[in-house]
Amino acid sequence: MSETRPVAAAMWMLAAMLVIGVIDNFIFLIAEVISIWQLYVLRMVFAVPIIALAALSTGQRLLPRKWGAVALRSFLVAGAMLFYFISLAFLPIAQSLAGLFTSPIIVVVITALFLREKIGVFRISAVIAGFAGTLVVLQVSPQNFSAGSLVPVIGGVLYALGAVVTRRTCWGETTHALLASVMGMQGLIGLVGVAALALFGIPETPGALMFVTRGWAWSVAGIEAVLAVQILGSIVGVFALTRAYQLGEASYVAIFEYSVMIFGPLFAFYWFGQTLGAVQMAGIGLIIAAGAVIALRSRRA
């Protein structure tokens, strides 16, 4: 029987969301110097050896048991983070997080439509409330609709699919194996992106899109410290997140994951002066409440 420690799981998740909420604020600074593809490659180069050493020192398994399932999960999670990071180059972190955290809503939709599970009136209501909250935070309306608002939502869809795959096929895998696999997949995606830019001669596009269209930058002058903090912080944050889900029931732990929607915007306000209107703050409250209801009702399903 797997170990279950709810208090420890909650602490691990809160720590993870605090770290992630802080470090993700610096993505837009990184985006001014290097591309998302280079960031992904650098994350792999530095993260995988550190994770391997940690696995070796603690006697944990580093290689997956179910290669196909873990590879699929890693691709979905790495893809989700790709769209989320890209959105951080041009959206405030609160809006990016709102898009990414459509994932619990999408999980419920997938569960109902494709897995044919009953979801009940509470989760249906939570889906509607969470969707409304997302629209409010993203400031989506017929008058000011922007395709850029959908970028973090695409990340949310992929993250939801990754969650479904994790829950149904990746049980029994170690924290180190799952983390190393995601970082490795990010590196592979990054290498493909860098190669495609060079092969097809795609020109750099001014503005936020340069985060996607910029080739390999040999100099990272000015962002060395930020880059190091982002990479190391991502290892710590994702490890803590994975550990939280291993120590507690997913439906219980998922509630604490929403704390990033407080930590991230709060740090953005303190450090960068990013502000939210009262209506957007209410939208964040709706998303958190909807996620909590979905998590709690999923436990009873």
Is it the case that residue 252 has pLDDT exceeding 80? no
Is residue 276 included in any domain, yes or no? yes
Is residue 246 included in any domain, yes or no? yes
- Residue 1 is predicted with a pLDDT of 40
Q: Could you tell me if 234 and 245 are in contact, meaning their C-beta atoms sit under 8 angstroms apart?
A: no
CA pair distance 250, 193, nearest whole angstrom = 33
Is it the case that residue 139 has pLDDT exceeding 80? no
Is residue 200 included in any domain, yes or no? yes
Q: Sign of the C-alpha dihedral, residues 45, 46, 51, 56?
A: positive
- Render 25-56 in DSSP notation, one character per residue: GGHHHHTTTS-HHHHHHHHHHHHHHHHHHHHH
Is residue 260 included in any domain, yes or no? yes
Instruction: State the CB neighbour count (10 A cutoff) for residue 1.
Output: 3
Name the domain count of the chain: 1
- Domain region containing 263: 6-300
Name every residue whose Cβ is closer than 8 Å to that of residue 254 and which is 6 or more positions away in sequence: 104, 291, 294, 295, 298
Is residue 50 included in any domain, yes or no? yes
Q: Could you tell me if 269 and 275 are in contact, meaning their C-beta atoms sit under 8 angstroms apart?
A: yes
Is residue 1 included in any domain, yes or no? no
Q: With CA atoms as reference, report the closest residue to 237 among 257, 211, 214.
A: 257
- Residue 72 is predicted with a pLDDT of 97
Is residue 257 included in any domain, yes or no? yes
Q: With CA atoms as reference, report the closest residue to 31 among 223, 273, 286.
A: 223
Q: What's the whole-number mean pLDDT along residues 230-255? A: 82
- Residue 130 is predicted with a pLDDT of 84
276 vs 48: which has the higher pLDDT: 48
CA pair distance 82, 63, nearest whole angstrom = 24
Q: Could you tell me if 21 and 260 are in contact, meaning their C-beta atoms sit under 8 angstroms apart?
A: yes
Is it the case that residue 298 has pLDDT exceeding 70? no
- Residue 142 is predicted with a pLDDT of 61
Is residue 82 included in any domain, yes or no? yes
Is it the case that residue 4 has pLDDT exceeding 70? no
**Residue 61 Rama label (left phi>0; alpha psi -120 to 50; beta):** beta
Q: Taking all residues of the chain, what is their mean pLDDT, rounded to a whole number? A: 88
Burial class (CB in 10 A: 0-12, 13-18, 19+), 234: buried
| Percent of the chain surpassing pLDDT 90 | 53
Instruction: Note the pTM of the prediction, 2 decimals.
Output: 0.89
Is it the case that residue 199 has pLDDT exceeding 70? yes
DSSP state of 209: G
DSSP state of 89: T
Q: Could you tell me if 80 and 164 are in contact, meaning their C-beta atoms sit under 8 angstroms apart?
A: no
